[in-house]
Copies of this chain bind each other. A is one copy, B any other.
Amino acid sequence: MEKVFVFGHKNPDTDSITAAISYAYLKEQLGMNVEAVRLGTVTGETAYALEHFGFEVPRLIEKAATEVGRVILVDHNEKQQSVDDIEDVQIIEVIDHHRIANFETSDPLYYRAEPVGCTATIVKKLYKENGIEIPKNIAGLMLSAIISDSLLFQSPTFTEEDRLAADELALICETDPLVYGLEMLKAGTDLSGKSLEDLIALDAKEFMIDEIKIEIAQVNAVDVESIMSQQGELEDLIYRVIAEKGLGLFLFVVTDIIHNDSTFLALGKEAERASSAFNVALSNNRGMLKGIVSRKMQIVPVLTEALK
């Protein structure tokens, strides 16, 4: 049987990497010839989770069609987030928890999306539906994904289904989520070896709001000030990105994973409008978002409303 690739989005986070591994394992048990691969560098957080539960980092690919004819997407569906030659392969399955956009197939497929906080929560259900037992180390990966996407169960994207999944997975992998989770998240905030260019690109996503192109980069941190103290150099780099991409706004969000607040740097023509959308007065291009940790649920919708 010809091999099928399973992969998450570009700039992969822990959910994208671990969902590929855990869903690939399930498909293997069901008799499919699959390989979990990745579309970018893994974060320190993901590397910590993989090592903790005894997994290798999946192989990096730049093209899919040179090796396979069919692929399975996890944790994404929008073409611009997927492998560059996605148009040249057949998408046979999608397992995801995002909105559906810029996605089209010519054939029927298996598509499973649920409005939950994490792809792992859906993959866990699929093990159950298919009657396949979840191995201890795979359960650990899935738990890591839920911890990551929910910022240790704090994010408003975290649903009751995610909670139930996390509880059950914690039992299977015999891991205390609060102790392990904080260590894992901290590993993700270790920015040694990361340049400031890396910081503003690592977890950056572009959005179009009406005719305005905006980019929001998010970094998790324990010590927010150690990043923000380099504001001058960050601004130099961000202004360069704004000019190159023709952005109306670049929002650099540093999320304090201990206190669950975010500090932001807003640059570009729409910076004032953006910060007033959050009832925050910009001071030296900076602002503070009390209790805000989720780009998807707490930042993008507010900006969408304000900028259109």
Q: Which residues of A contact B (CB under 8 A)?
A: 97-115, 129, 304
Contact = CB atoms under 8 A, between A and B. Distances in A.
Contacts of A98: 108
Given A99-B107, A100-B103, A107-B115, 15 more contacts: A98-B108, A99-B105, A99-B106, A100-B100, A100-B104, A100-B109, A101-B106, A103-B103, A108-B113, A109-B113, A110-B113, A110-B114, A111-B111, A111-B113, A112-B112
In the complex, the 5 A-B pairs of residues with the closest C-beta atoms, listed nearest first: A111-B113, A108-B115, A101-B104, A99-B105, A110-B114
8 contacts: A99-B109, A100-B100, A100-B109, A100-B111, A103-B104, A108-B115, A111-B111, A111-B113
Contacts of A129: 129
Contacts of A111: 100, 111-113
A104 B105 CA distance: 13
B101 A105 contact: yes
A75 to B, nearest CB: 12
Nearest to A110: B114
A104 B102 contact: yes
Nearest to A112: B112
Copies in the complex: 2
Nearest to A101: B104
A207 to B, nearest CB: 11
A103 B94 CA distance: 15
Contacts of A102: 104
A110 B114 CA distance: 4
A115 B110 contact: yes
Contacts of A108: 97-99, 113-115
Contacts of A112: 111-113
Nearest to A114: B110
A126 to B, nearest CB: 11
Which of A101, A104, A110, A111 has the most chain B CB atoms inside 10 A of its CB? Answer: A111
A102 B100 CA distance: 10
A68 B162 CA distance: 29
A105 B100 contact: yes
Contacts of A106: 99, 101, 304
A235 to B, nearest CB: 31
A107 to B, nearest CB: 6
Contacts of A97: 108
Contacts of A113: 108-112
A115 B104 contact: no
A111 B111 CA distance: 7
Which of A99, A108, A304 has the most chain B CB atoms inside 10 A of its CB? Answer: A108
Nearest to A106: B99
Contacts of A110: 113-115
A24 to B, nearest CB: 19
A105 B109 CA distance: 18
Nearest to A128: B129
A301 to B, nearest CB: 9
